[in-house]
Amino acid sequence: MKTERNFPKAIITKKGENWVGGGHPWIYDAEVVSVEGEYENGSLVDAVSEKGKYIGTGFISTESKIRIRLISKNANDKFDREFWKRRVKYAWDYRKTVMGEDIGCCRLIFGEADQFPSLTVDKFGDILVTQCLSVGMEKIKNTVFPLLYEVLTEDGEKVRGIYERNDVAIRKLEGMEENKGWFDLPGVPVPESTETEIIENGIKYSVDFENGQKTGFFLDQKYNRLAVSKIAKGKRVLDCFTHTGSFALNAAKGGASHVCAVDISESAIEMAKRNAQQNGLTDTMEFRVADVFDLLTNLDNKAEKFDFIILDPPAFTKSRKTVDSAFKGYKDINFRAMKLLPRGGYFATASCSHFMPDELFVKMLHSAAKDAGVELRQIEARQQSPDHPILWNVPETDYLKFYIFQVI
C-alpha cells in the first residue's frame, strides 16, 4: 500500500518522464510544467507525469537548471533519519567490499552514484571532508553528517571530525554561499589542525584539507598510481601536473632511477617535497615550479631526456562549450610528450572531465600520435578507483580516463 503523499507535486513533461525512466535522477527546469503546493528552495517534492503518475521524489532547486534531483522512485519511502542512515550504511558497506584494506582513505560518498545528490565525502583516516553542491543536501546535512559519524563509529572506525569544503563558486547556482570550516558534531571536540596524514599504496602523504584542491587529495587515481609504479623501475620519469607529488612518489617508490615532478603551483611543489622527505625518497627526486606547456616545449631543445612521461592535468573543460578548445589543449601536451620520448619509451595520460568522453579522448590520442609520427602500444586502459562508482545511466559519474602506452 502506498504511503499518503504530503509533498508538493511537480508536473513533468513526457520528455522528462522518459529521461527519468531511463535511469537519470535529474529533471531539468525545461521539463517542469508546474508545481502544485507550497515549497521552498531545497524542499522535497513529488515528480509526477502530466497524467498524475508518480515518477519519484527529490529536492527542488528554484535557481538551478537542474530543477529536481531525485533521491527515490519508491512511493513508500519515508525520508526520515532511518532512511538516510540506511543510505550511509549502504555506501560504507560498499566501500568495505570494494576497497578492502585500502578503506583507510577513500571516497565514502560519491554524489548521485550513492544517491546523495551532489554530496562528496572523502575519508582521510579519521577525518571526513565534505563538499555539498546542492541546496537539498545542504538543508539536510544536519541529519546526514551526524549519521556519517554514527555509522562509522558503530563499525569501530574513529572519526575525529568532519570538515566542510564548500568554497566553490558553483554553489551560487543553487542559491548558496561559499564557506568552509568544521561541522559541529555534538560532544566531539574540534581538531586543532586542518592537516592530516594518510597512507596510500604504502606512501605517506600530508593532506591539507583546508586549502588543498577539492577536498585536499585526489583519491580517484589510487590504483592508477600503483600501475605507474610497476612500470617506473629503472626509468627516468617526468611527472607533469604533479600537484602534491602522488604519481612521482609512486614512480620513485617503484624504483625509478630519477623522477622530475613539475607543477605551476609553488605551494603544491612544497607539499610534494614534504611528502618525498617523509617517505625517504628525495635522493632520486627533483621538483620544479614550471608551466608544463612551456617545459615540454623547452625540453625538446635540450639534452635532458626522459623515458617515462606522466600527464595528469586538471580538467581542461568543465562545460560542453569549451570541449573544442580542451581537445586542442589535451592534444598539444600529449603531442609534445610523445615527441620527447625515445622509441620504446613509456607514456601515461589522463583526463578527469566527463565532458571529454572516452571516445573523444581516444580520438585526440590518435591525432596526437599521428602528428608526432609515433605509434602507441597500449598497456592498460584504466578509470577511476571503485570507491568512485560509475552508474551507467548517469554519464556524469564516468569521468576519469587513464591510459598507459609504450611509444614504438
Looking up residue 301, the CATH number of its domain turns out to be: 3.40.50.150
Q: Are residues 28 and 103 part of one domain?
A: no
- How is residue 392 written as a grid cell? 551507467
Residue 378 backbone dihedrals phi, psi, to 5 degrees: -70, 130
Mean pLDDT for each consecutive 10-residue tract of the chain (408 residues)?
77 97 96 96 97 97 96 96 98 98 97 97 98 97 98 98 96 94 96 95 94 91 97 98 95 98 93 95 96 88 88 79 86 95 96 90 97 97 98 94 97
Question: Which position among 105, 240, 260, 352 bears the catalytic label?
Answer: 352
Q: Are residues 228 and 99 part of one domain?
A: no
Q: Are residues 268 and 119 part of one domain?
A: no
Show the domain range for 26.
9-72
Q: Are residues 337 and 260 part of one domain?
A: yes
The rounded distance, in Å, linking the Cα atoms of 50 and 34 is 10
Identify the domain boundary among 194, 210, 243. Answer: 194
Q: Tell me, what CATH number does 122's domain have?
A: 3.30.750.80
The rounded distance, in Å, linking the Cα atoms of 282 and 268 is 16
The rounded distance, in Å, linking the Cα atoms of 293 and 259 is 18
The rounded distance, in Å, linking the Cα atoms of 138 and 118 is 10
The pLDDT assigned to 317 comes to: 65
Radius of gyration of the chain (CA): 23
Do residues 204 and 275 touch, judged by C-beta distance below 8 A? yes
Identify the domain boundary among 37, 72, 107. Answer: 72
Residue partners of 173: CB distance under 8 A and separation at least 6: 63, 64, 65
Residue 99 one-letter amino acid: M
Q: At what angle do helices 246-253 and 266-278 cross, to 10 degrees?
A: 30
Q: Are residues 63 and 93 part of one domain?
A: no
- E strand map for 113-255: 119-124, 127-132, 161-166, 179-182, 195-200, 203-208, 236-240
Task: Annotate 348-387 with b (16+ C-beta within 10 A) or e (fewer).
Answer: bbbbbbbbbbbebbeebbeebbeebebebeebeebbbbbb
The rounded distance, in Å, linking the Cα atoms of 113 and 147 is 18
Give the other-Cβ count within 10 Å of 178's Cβ.
12
Identify whether 352 is a catalytic site residue.
yes
- Three-class SS of residue 198? strand
The verdict on residue 235 lying in a domain is yes
Q: Are residues 270 and 157 part of one domain?
A: no
The CA-to-CA distance between both ends of the chain, in Å, stands at 65
Identify the domain boundary among 46, 72, 98. Answer: 72
Q: Are residues 250 and 169 part of one domain?
A: no
Q: Are residues 364 and 265 part of one domain?
A: yes
Q: What's the whole-model pTM score?
A: 0.93
The pLDDT assigned to 321 comes to: 79
Q: Are residues 243 and 170 part of one domain?
A: no
The rounded distance, in Å, linking the Cα atoms of 241 and 71 is 36
- How is residue 68 written as a grid cell? 529536481
The pLDDT assigned to 318 comes to: 66
- How is residue 231 written as a grid cell? 612500470
The pLDDT assigned to 325 comes to: 84
The verdict on residue 231 lying in a domain is yes
DSSP state of 283: G
Number of domains, the chain: 3
How many CA within 13 A on the CB side of residue 276?
Answer: 26
The verdict on residue 200 lying in a domain is no
Q: Are residues 98 and 63 part of one domain?
A: no
The pLDDT assigned to 2 comes to: 54
The rounded distance, in Å, linking the Cα atoms of 309 and 350 is 12
H or E, element range at 407: strand 401-407
Q: Are residues 93 and 55 part of one domain?
A: no
Q: Are residues 61 and 119 part of one domain?
A: no
